Amino acid sequence: MLIIMYMGMIIFLISMMMMILASILSKKTFMDREKASPFECGFDPKSSARLPFSIHFFLIAIIFLIFDVEITLLIPLILTMKITNMMMYIYLSYFFLIILLMGIYHEWNQGALNWVN
């Protein structure tokens, strides 16, 4: 156990020294107007290179990721079905599904699932 702790400390110190050395020796770049502007074959750009991003699309994507992760938490319930009491399994799975449904209902009431405002 002591050897593993020493090896972990050595690995941590070596990685920290490498990161500090890399940040000291790295070439410093300064942002200027020419580097930040888009390149169009040497000509000035006709329009803005940065397109507006839909915040509503971002919120829908975050909601999808949250519920997707929660659905993946349901997969171990299948494995625990064999080793637990059946009534406890049913209560646990219903409780988890009710929490998911309450979250969807809340998002629906808040209007986060409506694409058109």
The DSSP result for 3-56, as a single string, is HHHHHHHHHHHHHHHHHHHHHHHSPP----HHHHSPPBTTBPPSS-SSPP--HH
The ranges of the chain with pLDDT < 50 are none
What is the Cα–Cα distance from 86 to 23, expressed in whole angstroms?
57
- What is the per-residue pLDDT for 35? 65
Structure tokens at 3: 């050897």
pLDDT in tens, 61-91: 888 888 888 878 878 888 888 888 888 888 8
The pTM of the full predicted model, rounded to 2 decimals, is 0.47
